Amino acid sequence: MVSAILTKWRVGKRVAAGSLWLWAIFCFYAPIAGASDCPKASEEIATDRPDVTNSSIVVPAGSLQSENGVNLTKEAGATTIDATNTRLRFGIVDCFEILVDLPTYFAALRNSGKSGFSDVAPAAKWQISPLPGTVDLSAVVGAALPSGATGVAGAGAQPYVQFPWSWQLRDGWNLAGMVTEFFRPADAISQLVTQTTFVIEKKVSEKASLFTEYVGYYPDNSGSRQLINSGGTYRITPTQQIDFHVAMGLNHRTPDFIFGVGYSFRLDQRARGGK
């Protein structure tokens, strides 16, 4: 009983600390962020895929972006396919978007893999700018709502706070990363999971980029999960992109491999007849 109370108290402390951190950043930077610093429809598409690290910039105000993909995963002798990994992003005002991850269906192809839909997960994303140099930073608050299969998505609502960042270097090089705190109140073992990522990206042509990414999951009261993810993107047009990625686990808690492909597009206000 005492252990359970202490665990809940520690989780509550970290939730409160994360919320205070988030609002402190908003209060400090929001007053100096202007429309001139926010993404415009004239800029090229920037997506949250195929790497785990999400984009540090939002979609332009008045734009709708659809990001979609399919993954093939082998883990513990089971092979699973999941599709479509669809994220819809809406630019509401300058430097602010709402997004929603639609339910993805997981189907076991071999052996005893898990099948069923994941949760629907809405969120809000603020781009915090400008920052010194060529650094972009965003803050995301969202939650996976209990709408999918418990065996796939877990039990109960699962809120999260997230901070993706990126730093543009010279000669087409880019560094990026993300810190996320997932809260799982209904989980009997790990009620808090910290995810960290780090990406090295290289623009190899005007339309193509390649990346290598480290992804780590660090649950409370459980062992870590770590993997390496690599892939690339190719812009068919300034507002359309195809991508691929291949991931390999670094310890026994992660999948043997994941292979995925995707297609994303953005519809801008001007394209829909706006001014």
Instruction: Give pLDDT tens digits for 145-203.
Output: 999 999 889 899 999 999 999 999 999 999 999 999 999 999 888 899 999 999 999 99
What DSSP character marks residue 172?
Answer: T
Under DSSP, is residue 266 helix (H, G, I), strand (E, B) or coil? strand
Q: Tell me how far apart the alpha carbons of residues 212 and 201 are, in angstroms, rounded to a whole number.
A: 7
> Which residues have CB under 8 Å from 109's CB, separation 6+?
79, 80, 81
Q: What's the pTM? A: 0.85
Q: Which two tokens stand for residue 87?
A: 């994220």
Please give the helix or strand (H or E) that residue 152 lies within, else none.
helix 150-153
- Give the torsion through C-alpha atoms of 54, 74, 245, 123, to 10 deg: -20
Q: Tell me how far apart the alpha carbons of residues 24 and 16 are, in angstroms, rounded to a whole number.
A: 12
CATH code of the domain occupying 2-33+50-272: 2.40.160.40
Q: Among 4-18, 19-33, 111-125, 243-257, name the one with the lowest average pLDDT.
A: 4-18
Instruction: Give pLDDT tens digits for 88-131.
Output: 999 999 999 999 999 999 998 876 767 899 999 999 999 986 66
Instruction: Give pLDDT tens digits for 51-63.
Output: 999 999 999 999 9
Note the pLDDT of residue 216.
96
